[in-house]
Amino acid sequence: MAAPLTLLLIVAVTIRAALNRSSLAELIAERVEVVSPITAWKRVIEGLALLDLGVSPYSGDVFHETPLIIYLFHFLVDYAEITFMLADVITAVALYTAVKDYNKQVFRKQKFSLEADRYPADCRELIRSPKEMYYIPLKVAMFYLLNPFTILSCVAKSTCGLNNAVIALFVLTTIKGNVLLSAIFLCLATYQSIYPLTLCAPAMLYLMQHQYIPVNFWRASFWWFVVQYLFMYLGSLFVIVCLSFFLLGSWDYLPSVYGFILSVPDLTPNIGLFWYFFAEMFEHFRLFFLCVFQINVFFYTIPLCIKLKDHPVFLMFMQLAVISIFKSYPTVGDTALYLAFLPVWSHLHRFLRNIFLVSCVLLACSALFPVLWHLWIYAGSANSNFYYAITLLFNVAQILLVSDYFYAFLRREHHLTYGLYLKKKDGSEATLVLK
Amino acid sequence: MAAYRCLRCAWLLLVFISSWYVVVSGEETTQGDDRVSVADNPQIAADTAEQPSEERRWEATQVDKAVPDDAAAAAHKQDFPVPDSVLTPTPQFKDTFKEELVIRPLHSGDIYASFQFRTVWETDFTRGSKVSHYRLFPKSLGQVISKFSVQELHISFTQGYWRTMQWGQPYHPSPPGAELWVWFQDTVTDVDATWKELTNVLSGIFCASLNFIDSTNTVRPSASFKPLGIANGTDHRFLRYATLPREIVCTENLTPWKKLLPCGSKAGLAVLLKSEKLFHSSFHSQAVHIRPVCQDPQCKTMSLELRQTLNVVFDLHTSGQGKREWSLFKMFSRTLTEACPLAASSKIYIDITDNPQEEQFEVSPATPLLSQAVVLGDRRTFSVYDLTQQVTFGTVRSLNVLIRWKSTEGDMLRPLLHAERYVAGYGLQTGEIHTLMYNNHPFRSFPVLLLDSVPWYLRLYVHTLTVTSKGKDNKPSYIHYEPSKDRVRPHLLEMLVQLPPHSVTEITVQFERALLKWTEYTPDPNHGFYVGSSVISALVPSTVAINTNITEEQPLFSTFFPCKEESSYFVRVYTEPLLVNLPTPDFSMPYNVICLTCTVVAVGYGSLYNLLTRSFQIEEPNPGLAKRIANIIRKMRGVPPL
């Protein structure tokens, strides 16, 4: 398996290096779909220039990345291209290893269940074979590295690539069962953009499953583990926040990074739902809707945890998807991360209801983004509504995609318990409905 | 032995007595001195108090010399109780008023008229003393200055853009729109709040939209705007600078401005200020400058100077109907009949430097008075009409200066420094501001300070700043940059750039256009947003030595900017304001956007909610309507359902 992965990495790096050297690189770096006000490389450079001028990068409203990023690039600014390629490679390798491990566990669990004869007899079709699972990790790496979204993001040097790498490492360490490293990477991801905070729950669920701790509120071992994990997580968060403070000598970065993410003052168009909504918002409703939209991102954590408490990896995927759809400054790089998980759920394909439609819409939207942007901004023959309509459609498609996978996952679980070919009382073939 | 003791006692006694006597007599002499000083000073004070009241109307300069003693007397008055009858001065006027008009025929055939009215009032607002008696100085401004502890105030309203390359340097540069810059005294604690109040008050006084000055267009330049009058410190925390490039100047601003003049528009040069003519011109600028100035070279006393300036350029083709012939009547549709009675001096200067033999134009009526002044680094010759002399008005009792061109040839001296600015790039996403600065001096290079204040919605990227002269990188020796804060404060960029001789220096910086909230756009959003002029301040090498003694008697127009060196003079050049388009949302559909976005969020919420709360069940086919009704009837009958 190492050879195809190496080949894949070489191809991916070659594509990126070629694009970086072409005239397209500058064009891509300006695209609003690829870079947001937080992740734009131009703004990172601006932050460095401000540091050189002796001005705090957070005194203005151009730079919104975290202090660690600016200090990282203080040293690596000349090697930025390599850094971003490396981040992509790390993400891909981490996801590859994580998925490989996860598949092993899935297979082992399936074997136990089969030996215990837990599956109904007609579910043979749903049992996954090692042969079909063999190429999944490679497909995941391929889905990430060769996804045009990721390539664009890397060529534009969007710092989103670094966030993705941190999240991928978090997934890897969680699946490996390393509690401390998992907490540390989660804390890094949270530090970068707040939203990964919700990944705390799937991580804890997974680690508890890994350590055979029952999820039971009446058990001391459960609470002991939760306290342990939260202590590590919050402790490292505290350390990293203080470290940033000492690097800069002021707390300016807190409002400038997290206040900026939460209060959405920059209405530069992007692929998300926030920009046009808050550009057109009535001023006295602004705070209310801001709260509603931000709570919306965090809201799904608890119900999803309850529903998917036995499947923390799928829960992680759901959380990543929800974050990338509903976050305040999404870019295609965020989308690319959860799309990379799709091959892991390839066994759900038979239950997907509208995957064809959704993928067509996603493709069409991706093509229409630059077209309508050009019509609005350069040609002047369209207005903002055109671009906004495409962002709406893109988000609807993403929501349908995620909910479709969720539906398929739940349905497969149902079939694994009750049998695949369900019959009505009178013996005729029955159809399943949600009630 | 006893005799010896006696002798010793006597000697001691003698020593004691003599020393006592010395001490006592010493005390007496010092007391005597005191009395003398107390007695002497009132006399001096009384003398000085009487002196100006007799001679003031004729000799303004002598008053100045008497002033220090007068102040000293006032100081004594606080220290020693002196009989009031001795010190009470006869009512005296410590303010003088001068007016002048400079006319400069321009080579393009246009004509430049610059009015200047100066009131100097020997008073001190800075010590917090209450001033309630006003004579020539306008009370409305005096109250504002004392209430807000203003050290210096400069305000200008300009319609049109000064074309430096065609017209040369103006006497009083000003940017298009409104400009306001104020130095506060260092006793002001909350400068921002005071500034806010001050702009609102000035807005009322001048009937202008100065109340639109807020933190988003106010900056604190660190080097470009130094106090023009005397000042203790130049801590830029007490400086505020703001421009409103969109401000439109018209009659409603001129009327309150004229009302500040001692004679109003009833007499003197101000009768020429008729708005129907003034605003029918290609450039119009009116300004008020208040600053503390020295009265004498030693700077013992401070006085408050109010300069009201009005500059206007009449166009050859629109105002002059294409004829190269100008007269006061043609320009202002008025002639002069008298000076302002309150004015100590009232003069008209006509720049005839380029016309020594009258080969270019002729000026009539001819005047024997000539004057030379060094202005803008050049020695200029002026014909002078003194309006305080009845001779000036001749037999017709009215003065109508006429300038008739004889030839259209002749070349203007190119201004040594000028600048222009424009926005490059296309589309509504990004852009680039180009500022070009020309040094036309053949062999001298000189440094200039560039000040750029750019609104927050054009996000400047300072790392893209490039300065090039003669194709080479020209690194600024000083950069002061304050990045903007969204909806709070603008960008401020100040640079010290050395301009090589005979060169063009190009400064470029990229920016990104922000999408604003729909309520933040102006009512005509597709007209674009104005960006105020860049300010270029420079010490330009002068061809002639400049008189650095500012207290000497000179024409007013040559003393606006104080000179510290003889070899260079201060110039301020304003570039064009920019008009930049921003991307706009669709203003007609806030409801639609709110509904549609909420629908998408609801789709997300609904589909997840559906999957989270429901469980899979086998579908039981719905019985038909007829069957259901039949079942209800059967239930009522007590029969088992179908």
* Inter-chain touch B517–A278, beta carbons under 8 Å: yes
**Looking at the partner chain, which of A46, A283, A392 has a beta carbon nearest the beta carbon of B600?**
A392
Tell me the shortest Cα–Cα distance from A393 to chain B, in angstroms.
9
Within B525-627, strands assigned E span 529-531, 535-541, 568-574, 578-580, 616-618
Q: Give tens-digit pLDDT for B342-392.
A: 999 999 999 888 777 777 788 888 887 888 888 888 888 898 999 888 888
pLDDT band at B124 (very low <50, low <70, confident <90, very high): confident
Residue B238 in this model has a pLDDT that exceeds 60: yes
- Does residue A87 sit at the B interface (CB-CB below 8 Å)? no
Q: What is the pLDDT of residue B380?
A: 86
Q: What is the mean pLDDT of residues B147-165?
A: 93
- Domain boundaries for CATH 2.60.40.740 within chain B: 417-580
Tell me the shortest Cα–Cα distance from B489 to chain A, in angstroms.
9
Q: Buried (b) or exposed (e) across B202-224, using 16+ Cβ within 10 A?
A: bbebbbbebeebeebbbbbbbeb
Q: What is the pLDDT of residue B32?
A: 38
- B473, β-bridge pairs: B468
The C-alpha atoms of residue B349 and residue B104 are separated, in whole angstroms, by 8
ipTM above 0.90, yes or no: yes
By the 8 A CB rule, do A305 and A198 touch?
no
Tell me the shortest Cα–Cα distance from A104 to chain B, in angstroms.
28
Q: What is the pLDDT of residue B410?
A: 64
- Does residue B466 sit at the A interface (CB-CB below 8 Å)? no
**A319, A321, A345, A343: which is closest to A334 by C-alpha?**
A321
- Does residue B604 sit at the A interface (CB-CB below 8 Å)? yes
Chain B CB contacts of A431 under 8 Å are: 618-619
Chain A with chain B: Cβ pairs closer than 8 A? 170
% helix, strand, coil for chain A, step of 5? 75, 0, 25
Residues 6+ apart with CB under 8 A from B378: B353, B413, B542, B543, B544
**B538, B530, B539: which is closest to B450 by C-alpha?**
B538
* Inter-chain touch A326–B461, beta carbons under 8 Å: no
Q: What is the pLDDT of residue B604?
A: 95
The C-alpha atoms of residue B384 and residue B372 are separated, in whole angstroms, by 10
Tell me the shortest Cα–Cα distance from B209 to chain A, in angstroms.
24
Residue A376 in this model has a pLDDT that exceeds 50: yes
Chain B CB contacts of A430 under 8 Å are: 618-619
- B365 cis-preceded (ω within 30 degrees of 0): yes
CA distances from A74 to A35, A68, A69, A211 (A): 20, 10, 8, 41
Q: Give tens-digit pLDDT for B178-217.
A: 999 999 998 899 999 999 999 999 999 999 999 999 999 9
Tell me the shortest Cα–Cα distance from B446 to chain A, in angstroms.
24
CA closest to B426 among chain A residues: A378
Q: What is the pLDDT of residue B76?
A: 41
More confident residue, B69 or A186: A186
Q: How far is CA B285 from the centre of its chain?
A: 12
Q: Are strands B478-482 and B578-580 parallel, antiparallel or unpaired?
A: unpaired
Q: What is the pLDDT of residue B128?
A: 57
pLDDT band at A324 (very low <50, low <70, confident <90, very high): very high
Encoded amino acid at B87, one letter: L
Question: Comparing A82-91, B56-65, B378-387, B565-574, which segment has the lowest mean pLDDT?
Answer: B56-65
Tell me the shortest Cα–Cα distance from A183 to chain B, in angstroms.
28
Q: What is the pLDDT of residue B129?
A: 62
- Does residue A210 sit at the B interface (CB-CB below 8 Å)? no
* Inter-chain touch A385–B604, beta carbons under 8 Å: no
The C-alpha atoms of residue B205 and residue B140 are separated, in whole angstroms, by 8
Tell me the shortest Cα–Cα distance from A284 to chain B, in angstroms.
12
Tell me the shortest Cα–Cα distance from B219 to chain A, in angstroms.
14
The C-alpha atoms of residue A10 and residue A21 are separated, in whole angstroms, by 16
In chain B, what percentage of residues exceed pLDDT 90? 49
Q: Angle B521-B523-B527 (CA atoms, 0-180°, nearest 5)?
A: 80
Q: What is the mean pLDDT of residues B317-329?
A: 81
- Does residue A392 sit at the B interface (CB-CB below 8 Å)? yes
What average pLDDT is seen over chain B?
82
Residue A249 in this model has a pLDDT that exceeds 80: yes
Eight-state DSSP code of residue A258: I
In chain A, what percentage of residues exceed pLDDT 70? 100
By the 8 A CB rule, do B349 and B103 touch?
yes
- The greatest distance separating any two alpha carbons of chain A, rounded to the nearest whole angstrom, comes to 81
**A427, A399, A420, A400: which is closest to B616 by C-alpha?**
A420
More confident residue, A146 or B12: A146
* Inter-chain touch A277–B462, beta carbons under 8 Å: no
Q: How far is CA A13 from the centre of its chain?
A: 22
- Does residue A295 sit at the B interface (CB-CB below 8 Å)? no
CA closest to B587 among chain A residues: A280
Q: Give tens-digit pLDDT for A140-186.
A: 999 999 999 999 999 999 999 999 999 999 999 999 999 999 999 99
pLDDT band at A87 (very low <50, low <70, confident <90, very high): very high
pLDDT band at B54 (very low <50, low <70, confident <90, very high): very low
- Disruptive mutation site among A276, A285, A298, A318 for chain B (greatest number of B CBs within 10 Å): A276
Radius of gyration for the alpha carbons in chain A, expressed in angstroms and rounded: 23
Tell me the shortest Cα–Cα distance from A214 to chain B, in angstroms.
22
**A329, A317, A256: which is closest to A40 by C-alpha?**
A329
Encoded tokens for B262: 């001692």
**Cα atoms in the Cβ-side hemisphere of radius 13 Å centred on B100:** 24
By the 8 A CB rule, do B310 and B115 touch?
yes
CA closest to A278 among chain B residues: B517
**CB atoms closer than 10 angstroms to residue B348:** 24
Q: What is the pLDDT of residue B45?
A: 38
Chain A CB contacts of B618 under 8 Å are: 422, 424, 430-433
Taking only residues 5 to 34 of chain A, the set having a beta carbon closer than 8 angstroms to any beta carbon of chain B reads 30, 32
CATH pick for B417-580 out of 3.40.640.10, 2.60.40.740, 3.30.590.10, 2.120.10.30: 2.60.40.740
Question: Comparing A328-332, B297-301, B447-451, B502-506, which segment has the lowest mean pLDDT?
Answer: B297-301
Q: What is the pLDDT of residue A174?
A: 96
Tell me the shortest Cα–Cα distance from A378 to chain B, in angstroms.
4
* Inter-chain touch A280–B585, beta carbons under 8 Å: yes
Question: Comparing A211-220, B9-18, B380-389, which segment has the lowest mean pLDDT?
Answer: B9-18
**B95, B96, B76: which is closest to B87 by C-alpha?**
B76
- Does residue B430 sit at the A interface (CB-CB below 8 Å)? yes
Taking only residues 510 to 539 of chain B, the set having a beta carbon closer than 8 angstroms to any beta carbon of chain A reads 512, 514-519
- Does residue B622 sit at the A interface (CB-CB below 8 Å)? no
Chain B CB contacts of A282 under 8 Å are: 590
pLDDT band at B55 (very low <50, low <70, confident <90, very high): very low
Residue B521 backbone zone (phi > 0: left; psi -120 to 50: alpha; other: beta) = beta
Q: What is the pLDDT of residue B53?
A: 36
Q: What is the pLDDT of residue B548?
A: 64
Q: What is the pLDDT of residue B5?
A: 54
By the 8 A CB rule, do B183 and B152 touch?
yes
By the 8 A CB rule, do B584 and A276 touch?
no
Q: Are strands B95-105 and B345-351 parallel, antiparallel or unpaired?
A: parallel
* Inter-chain touch A432–B483, beta carbons under 8 Å: no
**Looking at the partner chain, which of B516, B594, B617 has a beta carbon nearest the beta carbon of A267?**
B516
**pTM as predicted:** 0.85
pLDDT band at B572 (very low <50, low <70, confident <90, very high): very high
Residue B150 in this model has a pLDDT that exceeds 80: yes
- Does residue B4 sit at the A interface (CB-CB below 8 Å)? no
Q: What is the mean pLDDT of residues B48-52?
A: 38
Q: How far is CA A289 from the centre of its chain?
A: 24
**Looking at the partner chain, which of A30, A45, A60 has a beta carbon nearest the beta carbon of B429?**
A30
- Does residue A41 sit at the B interface (CB-CB below 8 Å)? no
The C-alpha atoms of residue B65 and residue A359 are separated, in whole angstroms, by 92
Is A35 exposed, middle or buried (CB count within 10 Å of its CB: 0-12, 13-18, 19+)?
A: buried
- Does residue B595 sit at the A interface (CB-CB below 8 Å)? no
Q: What is the mean pLDDT of residues B523-530?
A: 93
Eight-state DSSP code of residue B369: -
